[in-house]
Structure 1
Amino acid sequence: MSSEAIKLAKRFYLDEWTDAMLYKKLAEWERNEKIRKEFERLAELEAWHAEFWKSFLEKRNEKPPKPGISRLTLWGVKLLRKVLGPGSVASLLEMGENSAIEKYFRFLTEYSTELSAEERETLRRVILDEIEHEKFFREEEKAFHVENIRDLVLGMNDGLVELLGAVTGLSAVYPNNPQIVGVSGLVVGVAGALSMAIGTFVSVRSQRQVKESIRSRMEVLFEVSPEKTVEELKEKLTEGGLPEEIAEEIAEKLKTNPDAVKRLLLPETEENEVRASLYTGLSYLLGVVFPVTPYFLASNSLTALVFSVLLAGSALAIVATLISLLSGISVRKKVAEMVATGLGAAFLSYLFGRLMEAVFHVSAL
């Protein structure tokens, strides 16, 4: 077997072993009996997956790597579990499951001829297990409103990046007046939080109203002409890739079940616009705190800027690390990506501030 396949198998073994330990810890921390049992079941499945890859390597006279889980990973999982609840953990773990499904399918496709019939069948079962995990995660997302936790992460990230850019640019204009920079940053931050919250409220509410309007129209259409509604369902199934004869058969069987037809044509959304706007606005304000606070404590703007960059960069790194630890994304890459984009925006803002100072001579000395 190729060295690349062996390298992937070793990586899969470590990932599955880590996931098994992670689910086991989550089960130990969980008070909800239903969720705890599900985490225990997932831990057993992941342990079986890890054993498959271990056996896979040993059959090829390859020594499996020594597994281990870092304290940082456990700390990140436990912190996120306590602060945001099991739904947030489920949401981020789903990203890792999606990644595993794609990697395993690619491995099965590319190295099929190098696998025994038993190994191919076992790997198919592993892929099906990972897909089954997604079902549990989707159910947990609905129960814990995980879509709003994503609003929180994005809102905080926006607040950090935008306000860091704003105070950095203002620091170039007011180098010896940090209070003006701080107050200006707060004004911009509050205005940004309100704008984000209102924008989220209007967007989510509009989407819900449009769907409700379409759903009402469909109810009328089903009462007036069930055949037309079934025809729309057939078109949707065909567009989704089903052969026309199968789509027609499904549509005919469902024409006596209007509720099923309406759910297929227009799935319901459970996102609440008030909750979404509050998560977005408040998390944006939380992001504002880090880059703005130093300007109320330092004697000059340039000193404050150093601490502002350090605080904002640290906050971005923590958010990126927590996401990476649970989603299977490289911690280094995710941290580098978020910190680089945030600090890059701040640097460009500083240059723009210096340009405005030179052009309009507005520096307050």
Structure 2
Amino acid sequence: MSTPPTSGPQPPDRGEPSAAERRRWRQYLADEKAEAATYRYLAERRQGEERDILLALADAERRHEEHWRQLLGHEADKPTRPSLRNRMLGLLARRFGSVFVLALAQRAEGRSPYSDDPSATSAMAADEQIHEEVIRGLATRGRTRLSGNFRAAVFGANDGLVSNLALVMAIGATGVSSTFILFSGIAGLLAGALSMGAGEYVSVRSQRELLEASRPTQVTLSAAKSLDIDANELVLVYRARGMSREAAEHRAAERMGLFTCDCDPSLSLWPEKMEEAAGDDHESVGTGIGAALSSFCFFASGAIIPVLPYLFGMGGLSAVVLSCTLVGIALLLTGGVVGLLSGASPVKRGLRQLAIGLGAAAVTYALGLLFGTGPA
């Protein structure tokens, strides 16, 4: 037996609904069914708490579905296609089930029309607002898991796109040959990619070395037996590591073999836990070689795009226009992905990336015209 459609006040009875209202209700019904199916598809690819949350969301959408069924009566079974947005969400959920789908679902929940529709209950409108926050929380988990690698990928690719496009535009505007522009672009690609790789290697290695220098040593194991029990310098060691006085005294008592203190046993910090925590820090940082290779590849993947027209023998204004077009498409895509994952408008983020990239290219192109010999 299905659960009641919603709690809270029901919409007032306004007589026989118009044809437009019935069409709108059928659309709502189709969209609720599609959203419930999307959450079930996502739940199939998850386990534990996330799976339970997604299934609970699907049940909530089913309650909303029952509300529209009751209003429509015998017309509830009249076939209506879900909106294009919900069809795309369902397709992506079946094929991928990733954080991208959750980010899209978050935006979909945030655009619910129920708060402005008198046919929906206030409880349903509140549900949709809460659903947006639930999806935001689930999407945040995925964003957190990929934030480091994603930041490096977007930053590297975008840097390659903008810097090499600016270089190619500046040199091309001076009127030099297409061959010279090509080799300049390739030199810019290699120089930038090597610089990015070297910078990431040094950065990661330095961070690992800082973590290693900050990692507690085991000198307390050998020195503890010779310390003055009354002075107990070990307490200072643990307080310097950030422990409270109570936790430091308990830990020092453990180290010196005094297990008769009245401290809370939960304050214990065993060596293996400290080792595990230090290992987690190093794992989250990654390796210098891995970071260097990733940065090199991401930068090169972006920097090769402005050079493509010249690689295929083009030159002059046509090569400039095609190079800008290709880079513009790539900037729109990277900006759109950033907007999607951040829960913001992909269009706005894409246009922002486009404006920044092409703006930098326009400035360098103007400088090339100013100091060069004119177009080839």
Amino acid at match of 1:337: R
Amino acid at match of 2:325: L
2:312 paired with 1:303:
no
CA distance in 2, matches of 1:73, 1:207: 40
CA distance in 1, matches of 2:35, 2:315: 48
The residue that corresponds to 1:47 in the other structure is 58
CA distance in 2, matches of 1:160, 1:182: 15
CA distance in 2, matches of 1:319, 1:15: 31
Change (3 A) 1:131 1:317: closer
Identity value in percent: 24
Change (3 A) 1:355 1:310: same
Superposition TM-score, scaled by structure 1 size? 0.63
Amino acid at match of 1:161: V
Change (3 A) 1:134 1:313: closer
Matched residue of 2:202: which SS? helix
2:263 paired with 1:254:
no
Residue-by-residue CA offset, 1:183-207 (whole Å, 9 max, x unaligned): 1011011000000001001101110
Residue-by-residue CA offset, 1:29-53 (whole Å, 9 max, x unaligned): xxxxxx5556765642442454577
Work out which of the residue numbers 41, 64, 67 in structure 2 matches 1:24: 41
The residue that corresponds to 1:228 in the other structure is 237
2:302 paired with 1:287:
yes
Change (3 A) 1:171 1:138: closer
Query: What is the 5 A alignment of 1:1-365?
Result: 21=38, 24=41, 27=44, 35=45, 37=47, 41=52, 43-48=54-59, 50=61, 68-69=84-85, 89-90=98-99, 131=137, 134=140, 137=142, 141=145, 147-174=148-175, 177-217=177-217, 219-220=218-219, 225-230=234-239, 232-234=242-244, 253-260=266-273, 268-270=281-283, 271-357=286-372
* Counterpart contact for 1:158–1:287, Cα < 8 Å: yes
Matched residue of 2:357: which SS? helix
Q: Greater Rg, structure 1 or structure 2? A: 2
Change (3 A) 1:267 1:345: same
Change (3 A) 1:134 1:364: closer
Change (3 A) 1:288 1:132: closer
CA distance in 1, matches of 2:331, 2:32: 25
Residue-by-residue CA offset, 1:215-255 (whole Å, 9 max, x unaligned): 045x44687625532461339x9xxxxxxxxxxx9998434
CA distance in 2, matches of 1:125, 1:342: 36
CA distance in 1, matches of 2:312, 2:133: 54
Amino acid at match of 1:350: Y
Amino acid at match of 1:21: T
The residue that corresponds to 2:23 in the other structure is none
Amino acid at match of 2:163: E
The residue that corresponds to 1:10 in the other structure is none
Instruction: Give the total of aligned pairs.
Output: 303
CA distance in 1, matches of 2:318, 2:128: 60
- Structure 1 residue runs without a partner (length 5+): 2-13, 28-34, 59-65, 104-114, 238-248
CA distance in 2, matches of 1:313, 1:347: 12
Shift of 1:156: 1.0
Amino acid at match of 1:234: S
Amino acid at match of 1:154: F
Change (3 A) 1:205 1:302: same
Matched residue of 1:233: which SS? coil
The more displaced of 253-262 and 299-308 is 253-262
Superposition TM-score, scaled by structure 2 size? 0.61
- Structure 2 residue runs without a partner (length 5+): 1-8, 10-30, 70-81, 111-121, 225-233, 248-261
Shift of 1:272: 2.0
CA distance in 2, matches of 1:76, 1:16: 16
CA distance in 2, matches of 1:234, 1:55: 56
Amino acid at match of 2:166: G
* Counterpart contact for 2:107–2:343, Cα < 8 Å: yes
Change (3 A) 1:164 1:192: same
Matched residue of 1:191: which SS? helix
Q: Which structure shows the bigger proportion of residues in helix conformation?
A: 1
Alignment RMSD (CA, Å): 5.1
CA distance in 2, matches of 1:251, 1:132: 36
Amino acid at match of 1:150: R
CA distance in 1, matches of 2:85, 2:310: 40
* Counterpart contact for 1:77–1:322, Cα < 8 Å: no
